[in-house]
């Protein structure tokens, strides 16, 4: 009689808290890891997968994606979860808000969020959850209900939306955000969001550590002024022009403002998203020193770690905040290796060619912002990280353990008995070239086109379901919505 549903034989398990991989077998029962040990009897397992000595990482928790921003949510859930599995991602947390893009719907989350859940249900190949953005005052009042009914414990502020649109200048904020006349999406609103999130923490002290607020830190006024300057000068082109139009000190200033508001409102759980520059990281570290009672977490993306304004493949690399010059990339790596970065994400936002580029096609200010990249998250981090001396254990912490703990994903983030059997197998000796055509994403291009990577995810398991087999997505969707408030 078998004891286990699945046995992964002969793998080298990578743990966030151990310096070296561990040669073991991993046994799975009912979607959870039942045993990790060398030499587990294969006769006890109903199914066996031979790992061939490959590295076994805990499934990647990609804490920053954007399903449904440019394509229908139901379609994105299917295709972009497949692409995620290619990168070893087993759980994605995707940002969602009311307003233009996404569902193109305003109003309360009581009406909006059930539509989100219905559109994504039964279509994902990986597990998933949502961060929600309170865009108007009524949303702040809904925070307790979102925590209690749906298990949503993470919220977001887009600081630059005050007078700057998703892709550039914006003259009609209320129409873009679909918020009531008379309301403003400004620093005062941000303060009240913080007070609302802190009130939810106080209402649920048992959940306080996992109820947090994330901020996209750029300053609308700085960006609007610099965009005008760059366009009027007409000297810079492409990604260099976009970088100059959203300068790094705009990030630093927004980080500083957000941090002081967190101090003022008593909200200690603050996540600073996709920090892209030396100045942004410098500001974040200064604020941590100024306000030691605030538990800041600092995020960077694999895009900002791999590509710069000269190496990215064309205007497909337009993203917010922008890709930066090489010196900023090196600064990010320096802080990451120094332990000052908490997690690495993809910021995956599939934008198909016909939507991405404007007319003329080479005008960066007419292009949409954002691109996919979950497929390259773990392979890219390992490729660049190992070259720079990043321990495998630290890579596991950055891509799995740290975000899982912050965002309340109990049972995820580690290869340990009792945890979900979320595992990705990595060939650390595979050298391959990134080609957009090889991705399961519906995006037809990538800013990483032609990049050479030296690690490859071969297999991905979501709660023991073998969704990526020898590099190919297989089977039917088994991913589940994951509430994060003890449901």
pLDDT digit string, tens, across residues 5-19: 999 999 999 999 999
Q: What mean pLDDT comes out for the span 239-247? A: 98
- Distance of alpha carbon 335 from alpha carbon 149, whole angstroms: 38
Q: Which of 64, 70, 116 is nearest to 93 (CA)?
A: 64
Residue-wise pLDDT tens digits, 71-108: 999 999 999 999 999 999 999 999 999 998 899 999 99
**pLDDT confidence of residue 176:** 79
| Whether pLDDT at 165 is above 70 | no
- Residue 247 in contact with residue 225, Cβ under 8 Å? no
- Distance of alpha carbon 130 from alpha carbon 153, whole angstroms: 9
**pLDDT confidence of residue 419:** 98
Residue 169 pLDDT level (bands cut at 50, 70, 90):
low
- Distance of alpha carbon 448 from alpha carbon 233, whole angstroms: 29
Q: What mean pLDDT comes out for the span 140-169? A: 85
- Distance of alpha carbon 240 from alpha carbon 65, whole angstroms: 25
Residue 160 pLDDT level (bands cut at 50, 70, 90):
confident
Please state the pTM of the whole predicted model.
Answer: 0.96
Residue 23 pLDDT level (bands cut at 50, 70, 90):
very high
Cβ-proximal residues to 471 (8 Å cutoff; 6+ apart), any chain = 86, 456, 457, 458
- Domains located in the chain, CATH noted: 59-408+429-454 (3.20.20.140)
**pLDDT confidence of residue 161:** 76
Residue 168 pLDDT level (bands cut at 50, 70, 90):
low
Locate 29 and state its tokens. Answer: 């029962």
**pLDDT confidence of residue 486:** 63
Q: Per-residue DSSP letters for 279-344?
A: HHHHHHHHHHHH-TTSEEEEEEEHHHHH--TTTS-GGGG--SSPP--HHHHHHHHHHHHTT---EE
| Whether pLDDT at 172 is above 80 | no
Q: What mean pLDDT comes out for the span 361-390? A: 97
Residue 2 pLDDT level (bands cut at 50, 70, 90):
confident
Q: Which of 397, 429, 432, 428 is nearest to 413 (CA)?
A: 397
| Whether pLDDT at 167 is above 60 | no
**pLDDT confidence of residue 174:** 72
Q: Which of 475, 480, 444, 448 is nearest to 459 (CA)?
A: 475
Q: What mean pLDDT comes out for the span 163-172? A: 54
Instruction: Name beta bridge partners: 4.
Output: 45
Residue 471 pLDDT level (bands cut at 50, 70, 90):
very high
Q: What mean pLDDT comes out for the span 181-189? A: 91
Express as a percent the part of the chain with pLDDT over 90.
93
- Distance of alpha carbon 159 from alpha carbon 101, whole angstroms: 17
Residue 163 pLDDT level (bands cut at 50, 70, 90):
low
What are the CB-based long-range contacts (under 8 Å, 24+) for 7-10? 7/40, 7/42, 7/44, 7/45, 7/47, 7/48, 7/49, 8/49, 8/51, 8/56, 8/423, 8/425, 8/461, 9/40, 9/42, 9/48, 9/49, 9/50, 9/51, 10/50, 10/51, 10/52, 10/53
Q: What mean pLDDT comes out for the span 294-307? A: 98
Residue-wise pLDDT tens digits, 430-445: 999 999 999 999 999 9
Tokens 């970065």 correspond to what residue?
341
CA end-to-end span of the chain, whole Å? 33
Residue-wise pLDDT tens digits, 249-277: 999 999 999 999 999 999 999 999 999 99
């Amino acid at each position: 009689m078998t004891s286990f549903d699945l046995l992964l034989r002969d793998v080298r398990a990578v743990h966030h808290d151990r310096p070296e991989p561990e040669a073991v077998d991993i046994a799975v029962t009912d979607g959870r890891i039942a045993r990790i040990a060398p030499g587990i009897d294969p006769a006890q397992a109903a199914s066996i997968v031979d790992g061939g000595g490959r590295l076994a990482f805990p499934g990647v928790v990609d804490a920053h994606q954007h399903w449904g921003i440019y394509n229908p949510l139901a379609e994105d859930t299917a295709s972009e979860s497949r692409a995620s599995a290619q990168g070893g991602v087993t759980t994605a947390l995707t940002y969602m808000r009311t307003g233009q893009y996404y569902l193109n719907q305003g109003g309360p989350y009581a009406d909006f969020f059930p539509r989100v859940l219905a559109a994504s249900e039964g279509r994902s190949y990986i597990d998933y959850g949502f961060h929600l953005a309170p865009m108007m005052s009524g949303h702040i009042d809904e925070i307790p209900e979102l925590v209690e009914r749906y298990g949503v414990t993470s919220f977001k502020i887009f600081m630059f939306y005050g007078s700057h649109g998703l892709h550039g200048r914006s003259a009609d904020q209320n129409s873009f955000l679909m918020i009531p006349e008379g309301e403003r999406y400004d620093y005062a609103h941000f303060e009240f969001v913080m007070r609302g999130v802190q009130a939810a923490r106080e209402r649920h002290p048992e959940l306080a550590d996992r109820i947090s607020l994330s901020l996209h830190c750029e300053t609308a006024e700085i960006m609007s002024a610099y965009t005008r300057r760059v366009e009027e000068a007409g000297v810079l082109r492409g990604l260099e022009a976009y970088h100059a139009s959203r300068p790094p000190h705009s990030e630093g200033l927004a980080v500083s403002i957000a941090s002081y508001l967190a101090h003022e409102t008593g909200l200690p759980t603050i996540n600073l998203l996709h920090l892209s520059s030396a100045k942004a990281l410098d500001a974040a570290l200064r604020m941590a020193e100024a306000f030691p009672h605030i538990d800041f977490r600092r995020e960077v993306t694999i895009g900002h770690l791999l590509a710069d304004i000269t190496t990215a493949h064309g205007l497909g690399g337009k993203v917010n905040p922008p890709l930066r010059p090489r010196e900023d990339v090196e600064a990010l790596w320096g802080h990451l290796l120094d332990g000052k970065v908490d997690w690495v994400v993809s910021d995956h936002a599939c934008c198909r060619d016909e939507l991405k580029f404007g007319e003329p096609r080479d005008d960066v200010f007419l292009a949409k912002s954002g691109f996919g990249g979950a497929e390259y998250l773990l392979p890219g981090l390992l490729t660049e990280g190992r070259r720079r001396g990043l321990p495998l254990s630290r890579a596991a912490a950055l891509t799995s353990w740290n975000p899982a703990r912050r965002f309340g994903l109990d049972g995820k983030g580690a290869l340990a008995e009792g945890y979900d059997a979320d595992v990705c197998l990595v060939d650390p000796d595979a050298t391959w070239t990134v080609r957009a055509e090889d991705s399961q994403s519906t995006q037809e291009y990538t800013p990483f086109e032609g990049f050479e990577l030296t690690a490859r995810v071969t297999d991905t398991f979501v709660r023991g379901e073998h969704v990526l087999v020898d590099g190919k997505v297989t089977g039917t969707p088994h991913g589940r919505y994951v509430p994060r408030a003890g449901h």
